[in-house]
Amino acid sequence: MNEFYSQNKSSKSKGNYIYYFSECKGCTKTRASKWQAENPESYRKTLRKYQTSDHAKIKQRERNKKMVREGKVLEWQRNNKDKIKEYNLYRSVNKSHEITKQEWEDCKKYFDYSCAYCGISEEEAKEKYKNNLHKDHADHQGANDLSNCIPACRSCNSKKHNFELELWFVAADTYSKERLLKINKWLNKDYKIYLT
């Protein structure tokens, strides 16, 4: 029975029991891989929903702490200096915006000094996350100028990561049709008014 996945279940008639899946682990993995390949959008949405759950976050923290305790993180860093250098270079290219202080101020003002995604004010963001609003790249691979800059709180900035803006935002808990329309209006034309 070790070749089959199982779940602990409970019912009024049977009481507590172990339910074994009808196909073996190998077949289950093959079927899951095939479904993932055929349904990439649904898979990403499901994965994103799971990864943002409290249960998944706790599990990930536990795994990370275990890896640090066992020295695996330090070992990986020693053995992959070239990857770390490449990653840092990639982050530096996609991390900073080349906009003036006035352009950033105008961008925040356009979005009412609030996160464009969830609507939390800059003051609330400072209080809740101990951070000002971030300059988020609407398109992760896009330009570093005002045409690709959106104010985002620490939480939304982290959750969006490098996902495509609309795909991520429509699936987000904080989704608002009005905010999405305002974001698109800014990105498509309104930013041009504020270029210095």
What ranges do the domains of the chain cover?
1-38, 96-194
Asked whether residue 169 carries a pLDDT value surpassing 80, the answer given is yes
pLDDT band of 96, cuts 50, 70, 90:
confident
Report pLDDT digits (tens) over 68-80: 999 999 999 999 9
The 3-state DSSP class for residue 20 equals strand
Percentage of residues of the chain with pLDDT beyond 90: 68
CA 148, CA 96: separation in Å to the nearest integer?
Answer: 11
Instruction: For residues 76-101, give the mean pLDDT.
Output: 84
pLDDT at res. 95 = 67
pLDDT band of 94, cuts 50, 70, 90:
low
pLDDT band of 144, cuts 50, 70, 90:
confident
Asked whether residue 36 carries a pLDDT value surpassing 80, the answer given is yes
Task: State both tokens at 87.
Answer: 């990653």
Q: What is the dihedral of CA 31, 34, 38, 44, to 10 degrees?
A: 80
Measuring CA to CA, which residue among 50, 138, 48, 45 is closest to residue 97? 138
Average pLDDT, the chain: 91
Chain centre to alpha carbon of residue 126:
20
pLDDT at res. 26 = 93
* Cα-trace Rg, the chain: 22
Phi, psi of 137 (to 5 degrees): -80, 115
CB 135 within 8 A of CB 149: yes
CA 48, CA 53: separation in Å to the nearest integer?
Answer: 9
Measuring CA to CA, which residue among 103, 185, 181, 187 is closest to residue 137? 187
CB 167 within 8 A of CB 41: yes
pLDDT at res. 112 = 96
pLDDT at res. 116 = 96
pLDDT at res. 65 = 93
